[in-house]
Amino acid sequence: MAFRTVNTVLNARCEAIEARTDARAANLKGAMAGLKGEMTGLGARIDERAA
């Protein structure tokens, strides 16, 4: 019985850690997408000035 309780607690903690990691990865992915958009716009402005 005690093993089952410990196992349940550990599983819950692992799931919570995984959820936090997934949220952080999603935030990072969004930030990288925003940076890519900014860099694309900067590249276009540089091309316009060079032309």
The SS3 of residue 18 is: helix
**What tokens appear for 44 in the block?**
């276009």
What was the pLDDT predicted at 34? 95
The SS3 of residue 1 is: coil
What was the pLDDT predicted at 9? 94
Extract the residue ranges of the chain whose pLDDT is less than 50. none
What was the pLDDT predicted at 1? 58
* Alpha-carbon torsion (9, 10, 13, 15), positive or negative: negative
- In the chain, where the domains are located: 1-51
Whole-model pTM? 0.67
What was the pLDDT predicted at 51? 83
**What tokens appear for 49 in the block?**
């000035």
Residue ranges of the alpha helices (H) in the chain?
2-50
